[in-house]
Structure formats: structure tokens, C-alpha cells
């Protein structure tokens, strides 16, 4: 049984401080809701304390300060947490590279990422996909305007993530991600691909 220590509490405080003025795209929900959801998924799927802490901080580098934030995380929580956070970041510079370029590089990177990075990344992408599905059911096609990649790019990215993650074998977390992506494609009018999970 995993017992979370005061390191988790410190990470929660830091995550809340770093993202205090950030909200989720299109809905205005405080960004910490996403970080809590991702860390919960990691915790519920057997993650270690370092992986749960990294889940809380997984967007800090790309959204809140780049390399200097990564070094803060390293000094506060150690090399393993910093490595997971870095592995979950698709940019550490401002301005960020173009969207498609970033996503293609991230997909390539995932192919050789550690199991810890893949766990946090699947949890992150699952929560994003759940939110996309929920918001599409409310907004319909208007939803895609909030995404840099638009409808086609967003669906391409979700499909590509399914392919990369599936190459490592299946898990309950990945199976849910596959099902949610398939449902998004069905209701978005892109056809209903078969759900290929075990």
C-alpha cells in the first residue's frame, strides 16, 4: 500500500502556485483540476509517489517557466520526478515550436520513453480525451475552435497516441483511453473505428 508523504503535499502546493492563474481551455475551470485528475489516475493505477508527484507537475515546464521550472522541480523533488516531468513536456522554450512539429516530436519521444513517463502521459491524455468528449457533447463542432490543431489535428493526435501507447501492451488505463478516443471519433462524424484493446 502506498502511503503519500509530505513530499506529495509540497508538490500539490507548488502545482497550485505555479498554475494559480491558469484555466482549462474554453471552460475556465481552474487548471489545478486537471492536475489533480491526472495524479488521481496515476495513483489509482499503481503509480509510485514520484510518479504521482510528477503527474501533479507534468505541465509546469511547458506552461510555467520552461527549464528554470524544471530545475526548481529537480531541486525540490529529485532527479526521478524531474525526468518524468521533462519526459511529459513537449516544449521547454517560449515561444513554443509550431503545434504539429511539437506533437510529432512528442510522439517520437514516447516511443522510447520510460514506463513512468508513459504512465503519466497516458493518464494526462485520458483526462484530456474525457474532457474533449464531454465538451463536444455540449458544444458540438464549435468545440474544435479552441484547439490549435483544430478538429483534424486533434483527432490525428489522439489516434497517433493510441498507436504509440498500444505498442507497449495494454492496461486498464490505456484501454479506457482507446475507448474514449473511439467514442470521440464516432460522435464527431469520423466513423467508428473498432476498439482494439484487451
Rounded CA-CA distance 134/4 in Å is 31
In angstroms, rounded to a whole number, what is the distance separating the alpha carbons of residues 56 and 81?
Answer: 10
Whether residue 34 contacts residue 78, with contact meaning beta carbons closer than 8 Å, is answered with: no
Residue 95: closest CA among 155, 150, 148: 148
| C-beta pairs of 148-157 under 8 Å, 24+ apart in sequence | 148/99, 149/99, 149/100, 149/103, 151/188, 153/99, 153/100, 153/103, 155/184, 155/185, 155/188, 155/190, 157/103
48: three-class secondary structure by DSSP: coil
- Report d(CA 57, CA 73) in Å as an integer: 8
For the annotated catalytic residues, the residue numbers are 62-63
Nearest Cα to Cα of residue 174 among 156, 152, 186, 158: 158
Amino acid at each position: 500500500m502506498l502511503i503519500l508523504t509530505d513530499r506529495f503535499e509540497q508538490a500539490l502546493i507548488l502545482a497550485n502556485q505555479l498554475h494559480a492563474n491558469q484555466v482549462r481551455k474554453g471552460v475556465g475551470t481552474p487548471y489545478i483540476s486537471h492536475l489533480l485528475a491526472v495524479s488521481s489516475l496515476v495513483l489509482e493505477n499503481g503509480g509510485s509517489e514520484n510518479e504521482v508527484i510528477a503527474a501533479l507537475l507534468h505541465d509546469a515546464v511547458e506552461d510555467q517557466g520552461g527549464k528554470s521550472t524544471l530545475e526548481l522541480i529537480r531541486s525540490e523533488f529529485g532527479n526521478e520526478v524531474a525526468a518524468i516531468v521533462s519526459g511529459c513536456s513537449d516544449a521547454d522554450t517560449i515561444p513554443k515550436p509550431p503545434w504539429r512539429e511539437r506533437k510529432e516530436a512528442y510522439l517520437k519521444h514516447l516511443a522510447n520513453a520510460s514506463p513512468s513517463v508513459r504512465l503519466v502521459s497516458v493518464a494526462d491524455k485520458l483526462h484530456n480525451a474525457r474532457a474533449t468528449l464531454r465538451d463536444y457533447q455540449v458544444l458540438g463542432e464549435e468545440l474544435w475552435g479552441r484547439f490549435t490543431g483544430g478538429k483534424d489535428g486533434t483527432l490525428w493526435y489522439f489516434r497517433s497516441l493510441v498507436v504509440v501507447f498500444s505498442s507497449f501492451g495494454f492496461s486498464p488505463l490505456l484501454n479506457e483511453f482507446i475507448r474514449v478516443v473511439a467514442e470521440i471519433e464516432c460522435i464527431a462524424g469520423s466513423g467508428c473505428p473498432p476498439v482494439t484493446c484487451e
